[in-house]
Amino acid sequence: MPIATVNPANGETLKTYDALSPEDIEQKLALAARTFDTYRTTSFFDRARLLQQAADLLDADTPDIARVMTIEMGKPLAAARAEAAKCAKAMRWYAENAQHLLADEHPAEADVRDSGAARAHVRYRPLGVVLAVMPWNFPLWQVVRFAAPALMAGNVGLLKHASNVPQTALYLEDLFRRAGFPEGCFQTLLVGSGEIEGILRDERVAAATLTGSEPAGRSVASIAGDEVKKTVLELGGSDPYVVMPSADVAKAAKTAVTARTQNNGQSCIAAKRFIVHEDVFTEFRDAFVEGMRALRVGDPLDESTDIGPLASEQGRKDLEELVDEAVESGATVLCGGQRPKDFADRGWFYEPTVLADIRPEMRIHREETFGPVATVYRVADLDEAIKVANDTPFGLSSNLWTADEAEIERFARDSGAGGVFVNGMTASHPALPFGGAKRSGYGRELAGHGIKEFCNITTVWVAA
């Protein structure tokens, strides 16, 4: 895949970039290793000052970088601005909280007395150079939610970003440089996927994090496992959205439209399977379909656009195959299901779509739909809702709409996902851990859990 900015709204190639040579890669690896030797000993105060400066610069840069993101991967301009603001917020949160999150932990004296120690404590030390393999769908946020905690912990970062967002990738390196981080603290690697194995196997790289497809995650995990290196993986999801009779059905349906179509439907934590109790199924279905039909598909640079194009032509083909196979197997199209007529000859657009009458043998029941396509299911009770919700190889997040506390407790206990969101849509937040179970990956990003993922958790024991 070429390293290039290709506008998904019209298919026009705007910029292309040469991949780094082996000599270039070696220089960047050497610089990262040298930088870590000194950066790891810097104070939390100094790191926080630099990260605060990066947040301030990002705020000032938002109009420009938002436009770059929209042109590179097609998200509506308002969503791009919101993404930049969220990144600045996360930077400030880690700048303000990293020191206490990574403070030394001192066990009670009575608990370690029989260990022979006069004193003992746990210290969190940085691992080293961390390779981040990141996707295009949230080209700033996916990176910052790794970079902010990693840099505050004293690590340094190497970014292998998706090949269709090179301008955003280069912007991130420049942002941290302008903020005053030492040269080599954060570097972008303009390389193809074929170079990842060699970089990850390099002894100067201590760990890796990947957000992306399941095959990519398997590959990185296999290589890292062979090298005995730490990894964190976030590999997507097919999140359930359960609506029970006691819910505010009108609000649940309105929120469902946003939950399914955020980022043009290209979000790992977007709700994808809408599982509705039979008592409120018709009410929810009709309101949901009406809301999906009302969305405006168009140029993502137009402020009135709700849904822009998919990020790539291949992505649209993959989505069409899932929908077409389901329809051929008996699924009912409630709205959408094709390319918009107004954009038949340009861009990679797809109509907001709702499908019903889904059966377990259909691919769309088991596979992630990465685009504005929803499936709706009718269930008889909470037991059946949980069974359908968990009938997926993924386990990233889940949603429940109910006013019944017993149902909330039951769903929180039995959901197979890494997140449970009640009476609202799934969202990531700096103070809350983010990650999944099953084939959605392992490890956590954000909060204190995320900053500790790339730390050497060290026992310091001093004899009596």
d(CA 151, CA 44): 10
- Within 8 A by CB and 6+ apart from 118, the residues are 462, 463, 464
Secondary structure class of 267 (helix, strand, coil): coil
Active-site position among 173, 234, 367, 453: 234
Residue with tokens 């969305």: 295
CA atoms within 13 A on the CB side of 92: 11
Instruction: Tell which residue, 258, 220, 461, has the closest CA to residue 372.
Output: 258
| Whole-Å CA distances, 396 to 13, 212, 249, 418 | 34, 13, 24, 5
* H-assigned helices in 393-440: 405-414
A 10 A CB-CB count for 275 gives 26
Catalytic site residue from 185, 268, 335, 455: 268
Residue 268 annotated in active site: yes
> Tokens at residue 76, please?
């509506």
Strand partners, 373: 353
CB contact at 8 A, 204 and 352: no
Q: Catalytic: 361? A: no
The residues annotated with a catalytic role in the active site are: 234, 268
